[in-house]
Amino acid sequence: MNSSEQLFQRAQQLIPGGVNSPVRAFRSVGGAPFFTKRANGAHLTTSDDVELIDFVCTWGPAVHGHNDPNIREAIATALNDGTSFGTPNPYEVEMAARLVEIVPSVEKVRMCNSGTEATMSAIRLARGYTGRNKIIKFAGCYHGHVDSLLVKAGSGALTLGNPDSAGIPASFAAETIVIDYNDAEGVREAFANGGDDIAAIIVEPYPANCGMILPDAGYLELLRKLCTRNQSLLIFDEVMTGFRLALGGVQERVGITPDLTALGKIIGGGLPVGAFGGKAEIMDYLAPLGPVYQAGTLSGNPLAMAAGIASLKKLKDTNPYPLFEKMGAQIRDALLEAAREKGLALQVPQVGSMFALFFAEKPVRNLDDATSSQTEHFNQLFKYALDHGVYLPPSAYETCFISTAHDGADIEQAAEVLAAGIRSI
Domain range list for the chain: 3-63+320-423, 69-317
Is the pLDDT higher at 170 or at 389? 389
Query: Given pLDDT bands bounded at 50, 70 and 90, which one contains residue 150?
Result: low
Q: Tell me yes or no: is domain 3-63+320-423 CATH 3.90.1150.10.
A: yes
The catalytically annotated residue of 129, 142, 181, 384 is 142
Residue 219 has pLDDT above 90, yes or no: yes
DSSP letter assigned to residue 82:
-
Q: Which residues have C-beta within 8 Å of that of residue 306, sequence separation ≥ 6? A: 74, 75, 77, 78, 91, 269
Residue 155 has pLDDT above 60, yes or no: no
Total count of residues recorded for the chain:
425
Residue 25 has pLDDT above 90, yes or no: no
Residue 146 has pLDDT above 80, yes or no: no
The catalytically annotated residue of 265, 384, 391, 397 is 265
φ/ψ of residue 47, rounded to 5:
-65, -10
At residue 166, the pLDDT reads 67
Active-site residue flag, 321: no
Q: Exposed/middle/buried for 138, CB within 10 Å: 0-12, 13-18, 19+?
A: buried
Helix (H, G, I), strand (E, B) or coil at 267: helix
Q: Do domains 3-63+320-423 and 69-317 have the same CATH topology?
A: no
Residue 175 has pLDDT above 90, yes or no: no
Among candidates 208, 232, 231, 203, which has minimal Cα distance to 219? 203
Q: Tell me yes or no: is domain 69-317 CATH 3.40.640.10.
A: yes
Query: Given pLDDT bands bounded at 50, 70 and 90, which one contains residue 140?
Result: confident
Residue 171 has pLDDT above 80, yes or no: no
Residue 1 has pLDDT above 90, yes or no: no
At residue 159, the pLDDT reads 44
Provide the residue type at 151 as one letter.
Answer: V
DSSP letter assigned to residue 247:
T
Active-site residue flag, 259: no
Is the pLDDT higher at 145 or at 300? 300
The catalytically annotated residue of 54, 237, 259, 410 is 237
Active-site residue flag, 219: no
Q: Which residues have C-beta within 8 Å of that of residue 7, sequence separation ≥ 6? A: 35, 47
Looking at every residue in the chain, the average pLDDT score rounds to 93
Percent over 70 (pLDDT), the chain: 95
Provide the residue type at 205 as one letter.
Answer: P
Residue 353 has pLDDT above 90, yes or no: yes
φ/ψ of residue 393, rounded to 5:
-60, 135
At residue 31, the pLDDT reads 85
Work out the average pLDDT over 180-194.
Answer: 95
Among candidates 202, 147, 193, 198, which has minimal Cα distance to 170? 147
CA distances to 107, 239, 260, 263, 360 from 103, rounded to whole Å, are 9, 12, 11, 10, 35
- The neighbour count for residue 66, using CB atoms within 10 Å, is 23
Distance from C-alpha of 281 to C-alpha of 256, rounded to nearest angstrom: 19
CA distances to 28, 137, 360, 392 from 31, rounded to whole Å, are 9, 33, 25, 14
